[in-house]
Amino acid sequence: MASTRTPFRALSRASQFLGSRRPWTCASCKNGRTTPRRGFATAPEQPQKPYYVTTPIFYVNAAPHVGHLYTMVITDILKRWQVLLGNTNAQLLTGTDEHGMKIQQAAIQAGMDTQAFCDMNCRTFEALAKAANLDNDHFIRTTDPTHRDAVQYFWDMLKHRGYIYASKHEGWYSVSDETFYPQSQVQSSLDPSTGRKRMVSVETGKEVEWSSETNYHFRLSAFKDRLLELYKRQEQFMTPQTYTNSVINFVSSGLQDLSISRPVERLTWGIPVPGDDTQTIYVWLDALVNYLTKAGYPFPPGQENASIWPANVHVVGKDIARFHCVYWPAFLMALDLPLPRKVLVHGHWTMNREKMSKSTGNVVNPFFAIDRFGVDTMRFFLAYRGGLSDDADFDNAFIIRDYKKMLQGGMGNLANRTIGCARGKLRSHIIDAASGQLPPATPEDLDHQSMLEHTPSKVAEHMDGLNPRAALQETMSIIEKTNKYFHAAEPWKGPEPQRVLYNVAESLRISGILLQPFMPSKADELLTLLRVDTDASKRAFSAAVYGKDPDYGEGMKRGILFPPLLAEE
């Protein structure tokens, strides 16, 4: 419904464009500019720039579910991997998105003051980050005063460059998705619970309502060509490739300018448009700027390259890929700000093949799951089974199966059998290996040694390609192959088991190092069980080399890494 207020106060610079019937041309393209653009990737980064990885900020209209935990875990693995490589100043940002219509409506339904409602639910997400053993350096809230200042400055810069104008907007709006959809992206549907006929988004299935209002728009259509250039560059902006094609199709089909404000009669809970108290800034413009806020935006003149920006990786679910891979780079291009290096998109967790959703109640409580199975077990399961290019189905029975087979029966059992079979002599075998005094190697010994020599680089290659799932599966293949090697060699029978036991010990040590980003506590327990020194150099990725550490193994005793689960299903 159109506003009945006094005439809408359009931005002065935007009004100049609206007053002209000539086609609008962006500032960087005026006067037939032919010099190269600053570039849509990034300015050359300084060597000392910290590795910067982010989760999306999570919407506080309801409690978190296991999908949020998965996103946190994947992001944390990427940060911890960088630390393992020696990038000890790597930075991880997470936080909460606390503005918008969904928050406003949820607070009303809860009978609470909106800020108090946000405070309550924000604490739940902070608690989840702690429960997940997230090594985050920052936790941002969009209700933070510093964020409000950053967003309003960002808006003013877009306005100053002529990328914002005022116009009447009509279209299908989804409160649940906090976005407008064109006619081509909505369809008629029947509500399964009531039989009521309604219009829904084709993409998400969420209900939409027709809206007609006057608000501000961002000239998104001006960035079609530059966005397509971004997606087609040699080093992919988005990964996995699965999601790139849908984004390219969305942009290629023609971009409409983006509505970036809402009238206050519809939305009061948000950041006001600078200089116009009749309008509230669109929640997605507000939310996306959070990545800049914690990087110190607005950057002091001459200090742009001293920031942790640009982000090396944004980790997002596939349902918000369009916001991060279309709108966000376009906003940044408009201000000649460096773009994030990569956007890692992942699939959803499902139950019985149906997407988990807070709005439908089809969710898994992550706190209950962590309490029951342990944080490292959950981190392992989510990373090992979670879908990047596709969805993954969640079931407690799957967790129990993987725990028993790979963790308890695989890694834990292998460590105990090795220490037991060595009968207190494993340290002497390690000394013999360092001095070249082990018995001659059999072909099987050499094959196993070769596997240990090559696997860490394969793991690193997967991590460099932002595929932690493949990296974890490669790491766990060491345990699987070592169990087969151990069983076939039967060192408890042979007269000279030293080389076999040394190879198995090295398998455990190297696996323990590589597993640290995935299962920080259990990997530490394994390395401690092996008496690997706690000095960082002994547990860094550079130490995951066959024969690299001659100093571990003193006084090893059996220990229970993975005890039986309680109340198994």
Map out the domains of the chain as residue ranges.
Answer: 12-16+47-346, 396-543
Please name the residues in contact with 178: beta carbons below 8 A apart, sequence gap of 6 or more: 100, 101, 102, 283, 284
Task: Give the pLDDT of residue 195.
Answer: 67
231-245, 401-415, 528-542: least confidently modelled range? 231-245
Task: Give the pLDDT of residue 200.
Answer: 76
Give per-residue pLDDT as tens, 370-389: 999 999 999 999 999 998 99
Under the banding of pLDDT at 50, 70 and 90, the label for residue 39 is very low
Task: Give the pLDDT of residue 25.
Answer: 44
- Bridge partners of residue 54, in order along the sequence: 93, 314
Q: Check pLDDT > 80 for residue 276.
A: yes
The helix or strand, by DSSP H or E, that contains position 179, with its residue range, turns out to be strand 179-181
Contact 161, 334 (CB under 8 A): yes
Q: Check pLDDT > 70 for residue 233.
A: yes
- Bridge partners of residue 238, in order along the sequence: 343
Task: Give the pLDDT of residue 178.
Answer: 60
Q: What is the mean pLDDT of residues 29-52?
A: 50
Contact 80, 51 (CB under 8 A): no
Does the domain spanning 396-543 belong to CATH 3.30.565.10? no
Q: What is the mean pLDDT of residues 300-316?
A: 90
Q: What is the mean pLDDT of residues 116-130?
A: 97
Cα–Cα distance for residue pair 423/441, rounded to 1 Å: 21
Q: Are strands 313-317 and 58-59 parallel, antiparallel or unpaired?
A: unpaired
The residue among 471, 364, 431, 7 whose CA lies nearest residue 214 is 7
- 16-42 residues labelled b (16+ CB within 10 A) or e (exposed): ebeeeeeeeebeeeeeeeeeeeeebbb
The CATH number for 12-16+47-346, chosen from 3.40.50.11540, 3.40.50.720, 3.40.50.2000, 3.40.50.620, is: 3.40.50.620
